Structure 1
Amino acid sequence: MPQEPVVMQATGLNRRCAPVLLTAALLAACGKAPEPQAIAVPARQHQPPLNLSVCGQNVRYDHIPRRAVTHDVNITESFLYLGLGRRLVGYSGIPSSKEISPQLKPWLQRLPDLSSQGMNLEVLLGAEADFVFGGWSYGFRQGAVTPERLASHGIASYVLSESCIRVQKRERIALDDALLDMENISRIFGVLQQTQPRIDRLRASQSRLRQQMKGNRTLPRVFVYDSGQEIPVTVGHFGMPQAMLEEAGATNIFSDLTQNWQRGNWEDVIERDPEWIVIIDYGQPDALGKIEFLLQKKELEAVSAIRNRRFFVMSYAEATPGPRNIEAAQRLAAALHPERKISVQRVEFSAGELP
């Protein structure tokens, strides 16, 4: 039986109309021509209202957002990859330990950093946001900021597909999840026709990787090491690296875990004997520090990846759903299967310019 749609609209807030302009000093520091941080977009409605399935729930979007906020580095990169930077009034969840693409740093420096840690409702209201792009454990948390709580304040939202495993059962994770999210964001902002070529370029890279991996029968065992010394945090069956490993011709030694990111244990790492270790580079220690820790951990000395010094480093933004997943999967496939001469297509960003 169809559910009544949740209505996502922004009607209860006093929206500013004037664009916020950069100061001359900041513009000089960036070495760029003057550009506004956010443009005053005339209020528009979806005709008819847009209905999307978000975490298995039918959500209706009546209005095209004008003042958006993104949370976390991968989500912000997705938004900027689409060329929607001028719709942003701020971002959150990007501490200094999470590296954004160097191509996007100049753009990010022009926007307010609303919170380097968690999502804050009062700050969102103060920014007069009418839309938030986040995810469960990517800013949204039960008992804190949730899509329902935002809606009660007239703020629409969209939930990252990978994170839906936190609130519903899923069958699988796929690289396509991030592409679908970008298509849905484009629909919400009424720009899918302009952004589809950019999304299609990512799909073409994915198709190229699949073609180059066709017929592969060698599947190295891989341990994804996120963090943790007493107990390792790793990727389970529903985290984006699971899909990346599948595309790159490898197996995740913790694919039996039923979440996206969760705790494993060192005993299973030893028993399952990974041939490669993927290091997620963020936080402290950095990638080199994490590798040094693993090399010095005596109980791991017989593990194949440790003995053969086989490490692959991936940034946080590459390991979480976003436009750089496919490029990272290509690099991983090239490392695991050098004989296949995998081509790597670098992602190009145009943060504030729609095609």
Structure 2
Amino acid sequence: MRPRPRHRVRRPNTRSNARQGAVYGLAAAVALLATGCGSGGGTNTAAGTGPGATITAASGFPVTVADCAGKETTVAKAPTRIVTSNASSLEMLLRLGAGDRVIGTGFPPGKGALPAELAEQGAKVPVLGDKAIPKEKLLGSGADLYIDTFGAMPMMGGGATGPSEQEYAAAGIQHVYLLSTACAGTPKAAKAPRTDLSGVEEDIRRLGAVTGTAARAEELVTGMEKRVGEVRTALAAVPEAQWPTYFLFDFDAGTKQPVAVCGRQVANAVVTLAGGRNVYADCDADFKPGTWEDVVAKNPDWIQLAVRNRGSEDANRKAFDDAEAFLRGFPATQGLKAVQQGHFIRLGSEATTIAGVRNADAVQQIAQALHPDLVKPAGTPAAPATTSGQ
């Protein structure tokens, strides 16, 4: 029997619905639970059928994974032809060193959306669908593994549904899911707000197990834990009641009606770990439509100008400028405490609301803005968050 990893895997909060596209641009997914003991020809199996099972083997095949309903899939060997449903799982695979096995993706990353070190390889991945991959194209792709970050829900665009499990099997495609942003609609979904990145870390480990890149997965998770741990240590003496309140303004979702980024979204964990109090943490969802009247009533101390990457530094700067100008000029928001004090954090949506390694970088970047006397810049791979108007 292989030894257990030294880390302790915590039970994650995994309630989050997928609303990727023109409105929220997020990747959501269903549970992928790769776990178990194995030696020689033994099978790595799930320690449980629901979210939060503990990984007890670092690598090796076969690997058994399960979705939120407990349905298991056994991956007999490392896949060689992988299709991803969107940029979130694609980025994870690129970081794991399995990018050369990805033969297609849906919801491709926009120009500049991937970190510089991954951009060239990511750009070479064929796009099978600008939004969700059409059913026929997915089944005919020649894939042996499909990483699904949407889960059991109607495919985006046109209202068509994805392939059935029987159709995946007939096409020779094994269908597995992510965990951290996917179990929202299931009875086993966590009921409490998400306050840590354990679900994201487990997803990285599980993808490592399924693709035979477990060692690299552990390196990525260790790096995340180190960065988050530095922030926790720095803020240990600050009572939560003294943390500033925080509103994530999803500028690209529209300004007529703000979107509430709620407690079950991964961004709530990012903000909480950074020493902020999400003003919508008590919202029992991942997102919900909000009102400017409600934002005014909450009167946040800080506002994140969350815009999606436009593909260049100049274009991103303009998008941040436009988001700030709206808040300063809109009658309902121009009197907010954060607006009056210029407490804006310029940090893109991708690192905050999409599950991945960059979540840990975002924790550091936000903490540096909220607690500058305690948290110092640490040279993380992603560009630092910036503040404006102070």
User: Normalised by the size of structure 2, how large is the TM-score?
Assistant: 0.71
1:197-276 equivalences under 5 Å are 197-217=219-239, 218-226=242-250, 227-276=253-302
1:19-38 equivalences under 5 Å are none
Aligned to 1:51: 64
Q: Deviations over 1:96-144 (max 9, x none)?
A: 3771212211112222122222232222233211212232379974962
Aligned to 2:190: 170
Aligned-partner Cα distance in 2 for 1:200–1:139 = 33
User: What's the CA shift for 1:193?
Assistant: 3.3
User: What's the CA shift for 1:51?
Assistant: 2.7
Could you say if the C-alpha distance between residues 145 and 280 of structure 1 is closer, same or farther in structure 2, counting changes exceeding 3 Å?
Answer: farther
Aligned to 2:331: 298
Aligned-partner Cα distance in 2 for 1:266–1:119 = 35
Aligned-partner Cα distance in 1 for 2:164–2:133 = 12
CA contact (8 A) 2:113 2:309 kept: no
Pair 1:344 & 2:378 matched: yes
Aligned to 2:202: 180
2:103 pairs with 89, 92, 100, which one?
Answer: 89
Could you say if the C-alpha distance between residues 327 and 305 of structure 1 is closer, same or farther in structure 2, counting changes exceeding 3 Å?
Answer: same
1:156 pairs with 168, 174, 178, which one?
Answer: 174
Aligned to 1:74: 88
Instruction: Indicate the larger mover: 151-160 or 242-251.
Output: 151-160
Could you say if the C-alpha distance between residues 237 and 194 of structure 1 is closer, same or farther in structure 2, counting changes exceeding 3 Å?
Answer: closer
Could you say if the C-alpha distance between residues 314 and 192 of structure 1 is closer, same or farther in structure 2, counting changes exceeding 3 Å?
Answer: same
Aligned to 1:99: 113
1:133 pairs with 143, 147, 161, which one?
Answer: 147
User: What's the CA shift for 1:282?
Assistant: 1.4
Q: Match of 1:339, SS?
A: coil
Could you say if the C-alpha distance between residues 60 and 329 of structure 1 is closer, same or farther in structure 2, counting changes exceeding 3 Å?
Answer: same
Aligned-partner Cα distance in 1 for 2:299–2:288 = 19
Could you say if the C-alpha distance between residues 184 and 158 of structure 1 is closer, same or farther in structure 2, counting changes exceeding 3 Å?
Answer: same
Q: Match of 2:323, SS?
A: helix
Aligned-partner Cα distance in 1 for 2:336–2:127 = 42
Pair 1:316 & 2:349 matched: yes
Could you say if the C-alpha distance between residues 147 and 257 of structure 1 is closer, same or farther in structure 2, counting changes exceeding 3 Å?
Answer: farther
Aligned to 2:360: 326
Aligned-partner Cα distance in 2 for 1:283–1:202 = 22
Instruction: Indicate the larger mover: 316-325 or 59-68.
Output: 59-68
User: Normalised by the size of structure 1, how large is the TM-score?
Assistant: 0.77
Aligned-partner Cα distance in 2 for 1:235–1:46 = 45
Aligned-partner Cα distance in 1 for 2:331–2:153 = 37
CA contact (8 A) 1:97 1:282 kept: no
CA contact (8 A) 1:281 1:316 kept: yes
Could you say if the C-alpha distance between residues 59 and 330 of structure 1 is closer, same or farther in structure 2, counting changes exceeding 3 Å?
Answer: same
Aligned-partner Cα distance in 1 for 2:64–2:375 = 43
Aligned CA-pair RMSD? 2.7
Aligned-partner Cα distance in 2 for 1:341–1:194 = 28
Could you say if the C-alpha distance between residues 230 and 46 of structure 1 is closer, same or farther in structure 2, counting changes exceeding 3 Å?
Answer: farther
Could you say if the C-alpha distance between residues 244 and 152 of structure 1 is closer, same or farther in structure 2, counting changes exceeding 3 Å?
Answer: farther
CA contact (8 A) 2:86 2:149 kept: no
Structure with the largest fraction of strand: 1
User: What's the CA shift for 1:147?
Assistant: 7.2
Aligned to 2:4: none
Aligned to 1:15: none
Aligned-partner Cα distance in 2 for 1:275–1:150 = 49
Aligned-partner Cα distance in 2 for 1:147–1:311 = 45
Could you say if the C-alpha distance between residues 75 and 279 of structure 1 is closer, same or farther in structure 2, counting changes exceeding 3 Å?
Answer: farther
Aligned-partner Cα distance in 2 for 1:225–1:152 = 44
Aligned to 2:59: none
Could you say if the C-alpha distance between residues 111 and 166 of structure 1 is closer, same or farther in structure 2, counting changes exceeding 3 Å?
Answer: same
Which residue identity does 1:333 align to in structure 2? Answer: A
Q: Match of 1:299, SS?
A: coil
Which residue identity does 1:52 align to in structure 2? Answer: V
CA contact (8 A) 2:88 2:355 kept: yes
CA contact (8 A) 1:67 1:129 kept: yes
Q: Match of 2:149, SS?
A: strand
Aligned-partner Cα distance in 1 for 2:94–2:132 = 20
Instruction: Indicate the larger mover: 105-114 or 150-159.
Output: 150-159
Q: Deviations over 1:273-297 (max 9, x none)?
A: 0111112211789333222222211
User: What's the CA shift for 1:195?
Assistant: 3.2
2:127 pairs with 113, 135, 145, which one?
Answer: 113
Which residue identity does 1:315 align to in structure 2? Answer: G
State the percentage of identical aligned residues.
Answer: 22
CA contact (8 A) 2:135 2:163 kept: no
Q: Match of 1:57, SS?
A: coil
Which residue identity does 1:180 align to in structure 2? Answer: E
Aligned-partner Cα distance in 2 for 1:210–1:147 = 44
Which residue identity does 1:221 align to in structure 2? Answer: T
User: What's the CA shift for 1:242?
Assistant: 0.2
Total equivalences in the alignment: 304
1:61 pairs with 62, 74, 80, which one?
Answer: 74
User: What's the CA shift for 1:70?
Assistant: 1.9
